[in-house]
């Protein structure tokens, strides 16, 4: 059921948000509570998933079985369908093949035909088609390091930045549909300060700090890059349900759930972003991905929450 939007754009249309992700499950582990918040406010949210996650490892011990390994591509599609329903989004596959995470010293070459090696223009055009069809006001993706240096995350960053500019550019990819210029581009930010706050909250309760080891290995911090904090604590439970839907990737007893929900809501109630491109004026810091985009009240204003 479509939710009556709280706000419409200047043309009287629903606000639209596009997340670009590398693999199925990334939409649930990065920005999912933000997604659920905006969906509840009547924003139309699409997720473009670059690959099928075919080379992903089984990260939940309960799912580490031969039958799962043999059917991993189909199972991950089913997991994505379940998460999509929970989040209330529309999801589109770009159709590229998972590169896998190369390991070893020296690192082995990427497998032929994978997303990390696909011609950049081919990948950008595939995303431009989605942008021009959906016409998002806002796009989110990963930073220049991919959030972490997985080749698919890095390539996802590259095509997202390129598509943000090309979608509205006359003469760029003329077969990809009518021009559309998104107004804002954000990177997901996951800062050290967040995990320090969560650990401190657990210690204050007389419990162990679950992220101490992770913090001891943290080599770079992005806290000073955060421009936008979206308060979405009320939707953390929805995020968690979407995460658990990706059963091959998410261990319900693992680090994702090391901090109780209420503690997380109190200690760090936001999901955080860096605004990297904007065609509208806005004042930093922000608390809304649509800040600065001209809007008008929608039919949902004043409706019971």
Instruction: List binding-site positions.
Output: 23, 26, 153
76: its two tokens: 């991950």
Contacts of 85 (CB under 8 A, 6+ apart): none
Alpha carbons 214 and 57: distance in angstroms, whole number: 20
Residues in the chain: 305
Would you list which residues are annotated within the binding site for Zn(2+)? 23, 26, 153
Geometric angle at alpha carbon 283, from 278 and 284, rounded to 5°: 90
Contacts of 73 (CB under 8 A, 6+ apart): 52, 53, 54
Report the sign of the C-alpha dihedral through residues 186, 188, 189, 195, in that order: positive
CA neighbours within 13 Å on the CB side: how many for 284? 13
The string of DSSP codes covering 145-211 is T-SS--HHHHHHHHHHHHHHHHTTSTTSSGGG-S----SEEEEEE--HHHHHHHHHHHHHTT---TT
- Is residue 290 within 8 Å of residue 221, measured between CB atoms? no
Alpha-helical segments (H) within 189-283: 192-204, 212-216, 236-245, 261-267
- Is residue 87 within 8 Å of residue 238, measured between CB atoms? yes
């Amino acid at each position: 059921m479509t939710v009556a939007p709280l706000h419409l754009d200047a043309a009287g249309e629903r606000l639209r948000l596009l997340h670009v992700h590398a693999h199925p499950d990334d939409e649930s582990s990065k920005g999912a509570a933000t997604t659920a918040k905006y969906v509840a406010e009547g924003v139309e949210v699409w997720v473009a998933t670059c690959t099928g996650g075919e080379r992903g490892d089984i990260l939940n011990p309960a799912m580490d079985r031969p039958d799962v390994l043999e059917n991993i591509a189909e199972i991950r599609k089913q997991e994505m369908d379940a998460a999509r329903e929970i989040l209330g989004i529309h999801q589109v596959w770009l159709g590229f093949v998972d590169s896998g995470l190369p390991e070893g010293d020296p690192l082995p070459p990427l497998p032929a035909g994978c997303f990390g090696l696909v011609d950049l223009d081919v990948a950008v055009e595939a995303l431009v088609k989605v942008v021009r069809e959906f016409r998002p006001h806002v796009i989110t993706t990963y930073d220049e390091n991919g959030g972490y240096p997985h080749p698919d995350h890095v390539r996802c960053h590259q095509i997202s930045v390129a598509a943000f500019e090309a979608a509205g550019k006359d003469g760029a990819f003329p077969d990809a549909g009518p021009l559309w210029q998104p107004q804002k581009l954000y990177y997901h930010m996951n800062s050290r300060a967040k995990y320090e706050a969560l650990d401190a909250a657990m210690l204050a309760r007389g419990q162990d700090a679950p992220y101490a080891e992770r913090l001891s290995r943290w080599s770079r911090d992005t806290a000073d890059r955060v421009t936008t904090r979206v308060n979405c604590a009320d939707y953390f439970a929805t995020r968690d349900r979407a995460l658990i839907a990706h059963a091959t990737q998410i261990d319900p007893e693992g680090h994702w759930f090391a901090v109780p929900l209420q503690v997380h809501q109190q200690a760090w109630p936001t999901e955080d972003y860096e605004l990297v491109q904007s065609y509208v004026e806005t004042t930093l810091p922000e608390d809304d991905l649509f800040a600065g985009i001209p809007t008008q009240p929608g039919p949902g204003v004043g409706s019971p929450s």
